[in-house]
Structure 1
Amino acid sequence: MEVRDVALRAPGFNVGEVFSPAYNRLKRGFDIALCIAILPLLLPFMALIAVLVKLDGGPVFYTQSRVGRAGRMFGCLKFRTMVPNAERKLEQILKNDPAAREEWARDFKLRNDPRITLIGHFLRRTSLDELPQIVNVLRGEMSLVGPRPVTHHELELYGEHAGWYLACMPGITGLWQVSGRNDLSYARRVAMDVRYALTWSLLLDLNIIVRTVPAVVSSRGAY
């Protein structure tokens, strides 16, 4: 099944008609301008993180296939926060631990994930592992603000609301990230994505960006 089919099954829903061309140009221009402004400040910091990740062993970056706007798949970039053989370890954990298997099926995360490296714990708590996604923004695959990028399987959990996710460009930060992150249920996360799509404005994006700083510092809901 193509990812686009998830949205097209919603009666009367047309992804291309949710936002006007003017919206797309305004949001894209905002993303590029802000990226150009902050990238020189972030590059030295990102270089330091890259060195620390490399010293921990394994590659610096991790790329995972995620669903973008209108169902286009893209490689979502992150600093690596797990051991190199993380997928194999996850299979073993889920096979041998029923509680972990239930938690993963519900949240797609493990609160106490043994695969996370020492530097990885810090990067995840502060969301610094997501800084490389600025490259995704510059490529036009993501926005600075939007729904958190999801996998194909996660998108199926959106059900009839999947079209609202597909209408937006996934973002580095968003309502979910500044409202409790992993402390929120998946249903609440979906509701926030729908709310964002329905109420978007440039002021909303600016508000979310400002709220991201204290959310990162407090590490609320991060693990």
Structure 2
Amino acid sequence: MDKRSAAILEGVTLSDQGNCPEGLSSRVLGEVATVGFDCPEEKTCSAKDGFKFGTPEFADRCKELDSRSFGYRFVKRIFDIVFSLCVIVVGFLPGLLLSIAIMIDTKGSPIYSQVRVGRGGKLFRIYKFRTMVADSDDVAKYLSGEKLDQWKRERKVENDPRITPLGRKLRHTSLDEMPNFLNVLIGDMSVIGPRAVSSEEIRWFGAEAEDVLSVPAGITGYWQATSRNDATFESGERQRIELEYARNAGFAMDARCFIGTFGAMFGKRRSGR
């Protein structure tokens, strides 16, 4: 495991037991980060009853399931670098102004980061503009009843009270994800791919987690360009959409996602997260 991955894992609260979904647990064993869990009902877990992120075996299995051609991967990486550089350069001043506005709106850092599971099970830290109150991780302080139950299932809530007024506008236009282009530039993500998932969310894919982790996570993708908030993990629709992209990634699919994203952002299907 490289130094950056080790640094990400350092400080994570780890244990071994609990019930899904809120009891998902993790631990670091030497150079292996093991995420063990009880699968949701009617979901099939891997034979090892957990995923060992960071192991050569898991990474090799994901690589075997990657059906993308070398030419496609090469062209896409060049596109990712050029496109993300353009966005970072053009968006630097607007991003600086947004950061100032966020700090004026609510106290705390304008940038929010969380650990995500990337291609091959590699853990990385994703960056976004903060759209919630600074202490949003104190879920019990802001959510109760049905909202808390929904958060435990989907890790998102309709009309989340933690979202600030400015944050809601940023989410409606997806401007909160501008810092993601730093992740793209350094190679943790791609412009287009499955949504970057947390260790809690990856459990919903069961034995098919290796499939969705066979390609890099994206800033936008098939889910955002089609159903977005309408597809949930609980219904199984979210998994179906993400797996469809991972198994059929190509220029045509990417073009469809790229064009569809603008419809989701600015068209009739526009919605917050």
Q: TM-score, normalised by structure 1?
A: 0.88
- Kindly report which structure 2 residues correspond to 1:1-223, keeping only aligned pairs within 5 A, or say none: 2=34, 4-5=51-52, 14-17=61-64, 18-19=66-67, 20-56=69-105, 57-88=107-138, 90-94=139-143, 97-186=144-233, 187-218=236-267, 220-223=270-273
Deviations 1:112-161 (A, max 9, x none): 11111111010111111011000000010000000111110110111122
Higher helix share: 1
Q: Which runs of 5+ in 1 are unaligned?
A: none
Q: Which runs of 5+ in 2 are unaligned?
A: 1-25, 27-33, 36-50
Post-superposition offset of 1:60: 0.9
Q: Distance in 2 between matches of 1:22 and 1:6?
A: 27
Do the aligned partners of 2:131 and 2:168 also contact (CA within 8 Å) in 1? yes
Aligned residues: 216
Post-superposition offset of 1:14: 2.0
Percent identity (aligned): 35
Q: Distance in 2 between matches of 1:86 and 1:199?
A: 36
Helix, strand or coil at the partner of 1:91: helix
Q: Distance in 2 between matches of 1:211 and 1:24?
A: 21
Do the aligned partners of 1:69 and 1:169 also contact (CA within 8 Å) in 2? yes
Equivalent residue letter for 2:135: N
Post-superposition offset of 1:15: 0.9
Equivalent residue letter for 2:129: F
Do the aligned partners of 1:181 and 1:222 also contact (CA within 8 Å) in 2? no
RCO greater where, 1 or 2, for CA within 8 Å and sep 6 or more?
1
Change (3 A) 1:118 1:105: same
Post-superposition offset of 1:7: 11
Q: Distance in 1 between matches of 2:250 and 2:99?
A: 34
Q: Distance in 1 between matches of 2:189 and 2:53?
A: 20
Change (3 A) 1:38 1:85: closer
Q: RMSD of aligned C-alpha atoms?
A: 2.1
Q: TM-score, normalised by structure 2?
A: 0.73
